[in-house]
Structure 1
Amino acid sequence: MSFRFGQHLIKPSVVFLKTELSFALVNRKPVVPGHVLVCPLRPVERFHDLRPDEVADLFQATQRVGTVVEKHFHGTSLTFSMQDGPEAGQTVKHVHVHVLPRKAGDFHRNDSIYDELKQFKFKSFTHLPKVPQLQKHDKEEEDSPASWRSEEEMAAEAAALRVYFQ
């Protein structure tokens, strides 16, 4: 069974947590080691469209995932980020929370992480062919498949994280 993420399908091998209403996945080109995403199972475009039970499950899953990636990747802090709508930088029409384990000195200027997230392209973590309708910025050539992690690397990372949730 694949997971729907906006117009994309995600292979189960890169999903490391599935709750009743949410799932968490690794990606091909993380901003920092351990940068993962937590998403509702139901493809909902905007945060205000989530039902209260989905909001609760999404943030409970996000809290659990944050605890795990901070420990697993030897972080000392976490950054949580959500772009909600196109003007906020959302490139996939499906609510999702970025979870990034942080360490002292991981960026020269601490808030540079937000600049990196603005430039983060969804195709960095697609795992199956996309349904057509790419946005213009999803076609940039500098983010070529040659710079992505392999599916094997991502599956290994997901397997290592999955252990924490069993």
Structure 2
Amino acid sequence: MSSIEQYAFGPFKIDPRQVFYSTPLSYALVNLRPLLPGNVLVCPRRDAVRFGDLTADETRDLWLTAQTVGTQLESYHKASSLAFAIQDGPQAGQTVPHVHIHIVPRKAASSEENDGNKDVKEKQKLDLDIQMKNRTMEEMAQEADEYRSLLSKI
């Protein structure tokens, strides 16, 4: 048996270089297409399609992992808030059939962006379009290394 851990995200094999934190029941990985800097995913190790499919232990571990990861990333990204989101089923927007929590560090908008001189909504749309492109494995591995180092200190 291989000594390298294997991770699956629904039908996708996850390169272990993307994973930066794990417990016996959950793991956290960097996002292929982050919405904003620090947008990561926390998943159960077991292949579970819907939130209701998780055991009580898996649910507890998933949320405790999200809390640990989120707290560290909020500080690392100098954010002031965190968004935690689960899309539970296709009609809720779930695009990968594997339970996962999106964690997104959030900051207050700068006064420059909201000073009336720019169309903020158009700028946000353009930023989102730019950021939603697939990243390379090298980019994701570098980010995961940074987060792995951050979380190894707790």
Instruction: State the TM-score, normalized to the length of structure 1.
Output: 0.75
Corresponding residue for residue 54 of structure 1: 58
Distance apart, 1:148 and its partner CA: 2.3
Dislocated runs of 4+, deviation >6 Å: none
Corresponding residue for residue 151 of structure 1: 137
**Other structure's SS at 2:84 match:** strand
What is the one-letter code of the residue matched to 1:82? I
Distance apart, 1:64 and its partner CA: 0.4
Corresponding residue for residue 83 of structure 2: 79
Structure 2 CA distance, aligned partners of 1:150 and 1:4? 18
Structure 2 CA distance, aligned partners of 1:148 and 1:97? 19
- Contact residue 69 and residue 151 of structure 2 kept, 8 A: no
Corresponding residue for residue 25 of structure 2: 21
Structure 1 CA distance, aligned partners of 2:103 and 2:78? 14
Corresponding residue for residue 117 of structure 2: none
Structure with max Cα Rg: 2
Segments of structure 1 that go 5 or more residues without pairing to the other structure are: 125-142
Percent of matched pairs sharing the same residue:
47
1:91 aligns with 2:95: yes
**Other structure's SS at 2:43 match:** strand
Superposed CA deviations along residues 57-88 of structure 1, whole A, max 9, x for unmatched, are: 00000000100111111111000100001110
Query: C-alpha root-mean-square deviation of aligned residues, in Å?
Result: 2.3
Q: Where do 1:1-166 residues align within 5 Å?
A: 1-105=5-109, 108=120, 147-166=133-152
Instruction: State the TM-score, normalized to the length of structure 2.
Output: 0.80
